[in-house]
């Protein structure tokens, strides 16, 4: 077999060679030269329908390594926003559908489960079928995810936003917070970035979560080419110090916007199915509550976009750690 015959047709499709242009022409795609590259081209992503844009509310998407405390952070940030008098909607984007249980005190049915119960005839649903009021009036939705090994998370997010728009639930909302699963930023679960104004990364002061943060920055940079989303910063979580995060920030231009230490009261709040604003008072807890209130106020007032860049994997490996 010749070298030419082993070239990947997908790789060729993305290129500028005559063969690539022929493939694009056959597929009905515009020539590569002199055109703006559409979001998701060369992948399984699709460009967002303009009618699905969330108008009026300030939208934040929270990402980070799996198990790093994104849901705890998102829920307490939602609670803090509500304490400031804002009308808040939190959307959990994880098949585990446990993003909002500290707000609602229960595991809610997912949008996909509810849609499946009516054979995906969304006109048969009412808001109370999938939207639940949580702590201090925070409205909670669990988008869920497709069955394991099938489907796409982007479809789930899209159907959730579509339902919320059909029922006019976004019109009276000041803040929308997407809590997105894990550190695998595939095209599907990067979908909340198409709606967000700012993307926040939750990271601990360790190699694994910083490594994941680097890839998330790549995803945000990619979406920022076609959407309004910009990097909002890193929230240092479950960490006494931030020296490793500081190293990464210095190299990439990333910025720490809040720091939450590894306190037992935070762990206990999850076990009690409560936000930090419902826990018994202590001086250390008050400091954490005030940090959430400060972060919420800063985000709502508007923060400048952070012009951070990602690093090569090998460079992160060499940068972090102790000599």
DSSP 306: B
Question: Is-catalytic flag, 65?
Answer: yes
Residue 230's DSSP bridge partners are 198
Give the integer Cα–Cα distance in Å for 138 and 209. 28
Q: Kindly name the residue from 39, 94, 179, 183 that is annotated as catalytic.
A: 183
Q: Residue 73 and residue 141: Cα distance in Å, rounded?
A: 16
CA 163 to chain centre: 19
List of E strands, 79-159: 88-93, 132-133, 139-142
| Under 8 Å between Cβ of 35 and 152 | no
Whether 96 is catalytic is yes
Taking the CA atoms of residue 288, residue 294, residue 298 and residue 301 in that order, the dihedral angle to the nearest 10 degrees is 130
The C-alpha R_g of the chain, in whole angstroms, comes to 21
Report the Cα–Cα distance between both ends of the chain, in Å, rounded.
50
Beta-ladder partners of 234: 201, 256
Longest distance between any two alpha carbons in the chain, whole Å: 73
How, if at all, do strands 88-93 and 58-64 pair? unpaired
**Which residues on neighbouring strands pair with residue 202, listed in sequence order?**
64, 235
* Active-site annotation holder among 53, 96, 165, 273: 96
**Rounded-to-integer distance, Cα 75 and Cα 88, Å:** 10
What are phi and psi for residue 77, nearest 5 degrees?
-70, -40
Active-site residue (options: 39, 58, 70, 83)? 70
Q: Is 323 a catalytic residue?
A: no
Angle at 208 between CA 206 and CA 210, to 5 degrees: 70
Catalytic residue among 58, 65, 86, 223: 65
Of all helices (H) and strands (E), which one includes residue 231? strand 230-237
Q: Is 272 a catalytic residue?
A: no
Active site residues: 65, 70, 96, 183
């Amino acid at each position: 077999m010749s070298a030419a015959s082993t070239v990947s047709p997908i790789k060729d499709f993305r290129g500028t060679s005559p063969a690539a242009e022929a493939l694009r022409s056959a597929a009905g795609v515009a020539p590569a030269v002199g055109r703006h590259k559409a979001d998701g081209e060369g992948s399984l992503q699709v460009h967002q329908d303009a009618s699905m844009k969330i108008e009026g509310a300030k939208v934040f998407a929270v990402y980070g390594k799996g198990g790093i405390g994104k849901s705890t952070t998102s829920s307490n940030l939602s609670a803090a926003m509500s304490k400031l008098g804002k009308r808040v909607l939190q959307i959990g984007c994880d098949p585990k559908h446990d993003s909002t249980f500290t707000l609602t005190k229960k595991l809610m049915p997912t949008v996909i489960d509810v849609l499946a119960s009516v054979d995906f005839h969304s006109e048969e649903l009412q808001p109370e079928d999938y939207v639940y009021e949580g702590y201090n009036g925070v409205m909670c939705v669990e988008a869920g995810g497709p069955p394991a090994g099938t489907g796409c998370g982007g479809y789930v997010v899209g159907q959730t936003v579509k339902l919320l728009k059909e029922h006019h639930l976004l019109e009276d909302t000041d803040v929308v917070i997407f809590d997105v699963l894990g550190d695998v930023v595939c095209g599907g679960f990067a979908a909340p970035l198409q709606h967000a104004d700012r993307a926040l990364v939750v990271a601990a002061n360790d190699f694994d979560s910083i490594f994941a943060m680097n890839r998330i920055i790549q995803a945000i940079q990619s979406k920022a080419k076609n959407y309004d989303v910009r990097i909002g910063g890193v929230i240092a979580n479950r960490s006494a110090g931030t020296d490793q995060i500081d190293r990464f920030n210095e190299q990439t231009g990333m910025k720490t916007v809040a720091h939450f230490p590894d306190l037992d009261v935070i762990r206990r709040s999850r076990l009690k199915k409560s936000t930090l604003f419902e826990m018994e008072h202590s001086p250390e807890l008050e400091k954490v509550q005030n940090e959430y209130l400060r972060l919420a106020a800063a985000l709502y007032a508007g923060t400048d976009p952070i012009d951070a860049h990602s690093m090569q994997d090998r460079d992160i490996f060499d940068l972090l750690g102790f000599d």
